[in-house]
Chains A and B, each alone.
Chain A
Amino acid sequence: MKRLLTLFTAICVIFSLSGCKIELPSSEGAPAGESSVGSCTVSIDCKTVLSNTELLDGSKKEIIPPDGIILAPADISVYEGDTVFDVLNRAVRSRGIHMEFSTTPGYNSRYIEGIANLYAFDCGELSGWVYSVNGEFPNTGISSVKVSDGDVICILYTCDLGQDVGNGYGERQ
């Protein structure tokens, strides 16, 4: 019993030291005590899946919206120092849309693994989430691009390494 208690305490200590931030779904993730410096438009869509349904993972068929739009263009407040990732995270949080990302600690860089349970590689081996800012596809990670007032951010699902959403990743080289 004493051992179990020690083990439990050790786990609790490790858990609290690791700095886990636990939040309820209702919190929107907006920085406290800061006022917004503007707003931007964020939209999320997976229209490319509709024309590649034969590649789609069978268990994911029912989660694809009929028009392929997960989030219609929405106004999201921008705070000082916000990156595209922060804005996207705030957008999905406030609307209860599921999103999973991974973080590389040293660089604090984020990678979007899946939005609304649609994950990278779910629709063929060239599929995944990409983003564009004002129609341009920045060739860097989503957490390294700063957002300014009035930006139009599109989060797009590609089934062909970006070619089918207008990012000529292959052509450019």
Chain B
Amino acid sequence: MSRAFDSLHPAVSFVFFLCAVGFSMCCMNPVMLLISFISSLLFLFVLTGEKSLKYLLFSFPAAAAVAAVNTAFNHRGATILLYVNGNPITLESIVYGTASGIMLMSVIIWFACLNRVMTSDKLIYLFARVSPSLSLLFSMILRFVPKMKRRAKHIASAQKCSGAAAAKTADRIKNSLSAVVILISWSFEDAADTADSMKCRGYGLPGRSVFYKYSLTLKDVSVLAAIILFAAFSAAGGISGAVYVSYFPAYSAAACGGPAFFTYAAYAVLLNIPLGLCLTEELKWCFLKSKI
């Protein structure tokens, strides 16, 4: 795993993810959707390797469901393909559903990246001074699901060990119910433990230092400046209407000219800043190794 983006100041990475998720959610332009989707996937691949394919596989059903639901319940659009129960199924609603499915997928993948980069200590570093209890809660929530999954596995294997593995469906249901009860009480206990132990350490008191010391270096500042610059370019393109699209009643888009290409380019650069950092680091390392 590349450390180039990881080692940046947490505020810089946070601003990047804010931009990435925000723009991905707001832009329904198909080109920008694809840029966001591909960039998020590439970044996740750099961060996690083959595991990124698993995310792709899991987020795909969500996207397909969004597309299907939109097609079934949204009857707007000029091109009628079929009638289901008298109401039209239109090409535009299928296209719009697919677009929002891709949007959802890229947002899920950006959040997966965020989970890898913004570890709980970084979140606490960022927000502890603003609101100690909220930042602790936020960091606990973010790692809650993976932790719960791990624990569910533990409980299941413990149940198997103790001979509770049952062949009958009724017994299996009973076992899984008790597993859920164990899981919930374990999580409650753990949350209370965490709160107690943080209190014991004086968490939230003034003058408390942090585990990692991050300082804003020149590199951080320049990356932050690049993020803000390209985000401003993308936002300007979006506000000026250069990349305007409308899916209903018929698909229509702003004329594909210079401003649109400029916005696409700025957006692509913005979303690939972390990828670029990781790749340059990788290349530098290879170059240095070759000299030894």
**Contact (Cβ within 8 A) B80 A59:** no
Q: What chain B residues lie within 8 Å of A119 (beta carbons)?
A: 76
B80 engages A20 (CB within 8 Å) = no
Q: Would you call A117 and B248 a contact (CB within 8 A)?
A: yes
Query: How many residues does chain B have at the interface if contact means C-beta atoms less than 8 Å apart?
Result: 18
Q: From residue B116, how far is it (CB to closest CB) to chain A in Å?
A: 28
**Complex contact B83–A98 (CB within 8 A):** no
| B83, A25: Cβ atoms closer than 8 Å | yes
Interface residues on A, range: 20 to 34
Asked whether, in the complex, the Cβ of B84 is within 8 Å of the Cβ of A100, the reply is: no
Report Cα–Cα, A25/B82, bound state, in Å: 6
Q: A100-B75, A100-B76 are in contact. Are A63 and B249 (CB under 8 A)?
A: yes
Pick from A22, A27, A96 the residue with the most CB of B within 10 Å: A22
- Whether B86 lies near A89 (C-beta < 8 A) is yes
Number of A-B contacts (CB under 8 A): 53
Known A59-B248, A117-B248; judge A21-B86 contact (CB<8 A): yes
Interface assignment of B90: CB less than 8 Å from any CB of chain A:
yes
The residue of chain B having its C-beta at the shortest distance from the C-beta of A96 within the complex is: B80
Contact A22–B84 (Cβ < 8 Å): yes
Q: Does A24 contact B (CB under 8 A)?
A: yes
Q: Which residue of chain B has its CB nearest to the CB of A114?
A: B76
Asked if B87 and A21 make an inter-chain contact with CB atoms under 8 angstroms apart, the answer reads no
B252 to chain A: closest residue by CB:
A62
Interface flag for B145 (CB, 8 Å): no
Contact flags (1/0) for A97-129 with B, using CB distance below 8 Å?
Answer: 011110100000000001001010000000000
CB distance from A25 to the nearest CB of B (A): 5
Main secondary structure of the interface of A (DSSP, over half): mixed
B78 and A98 form a contact (CB under 8 A)? yes
CB distance from B156 to the nearest CB of A (A): 17
Within 8 A of B (CB), among A36-79: 59-60, 62-63
Contacts of A171 in B (CB 8 A): none
Return chain A residues, CB-CB under 8 Å to B252. Answer: 62
Contacts of B215 on A, CB cut-off 8 Å? Answer: none
Please tell me if the beta carbons of B246 and A22 are within 8 angstroms of each other in the complex: no
Q: Are B84 and A20 in contact (CB under 8 A)?
A: yes
Kindly state whether residue B85 has any CB partner on chain A within 8 Å: yes
Collect the chain A residues with CB atoms within 8 Å of residue B246's CB.
59
Given A24-B82, A117-B76, are A101 and B249 neighbors across the interface (CB < 8 Å)? no
Cα–Cα, bound, A63→B246 (Å): 13
| Given A22-B82, A25-B80, A27-B83, 14 more pairs with CB closer than 8 A | A21-B85, A21-B86, A23-B84, A25-B81, A60-B249, A62-B252, A98-B80, A98-B90, A100-B76, A100-B87, A100-B88, A101-B87, A103-B86, A117-B78
B residues with a Cβ closer than 8 A to A are: 75-78, 80-88, 90, 246, 248-249, 252
Task: Please give the residue numbers on chain A whose beta carbons come within 8 Å of chain B beta carbons, in ascending order.
Answer: 20-25, 27, 29, 59-60, 62-63, 89, 93, 96, 98-101, 103, 114, 117, 119
- Interface CB pairs A-B, < 8 A, 6: A22-B82, A23-B84, A25-B82, A60-B249, A98-B78, A98-B249
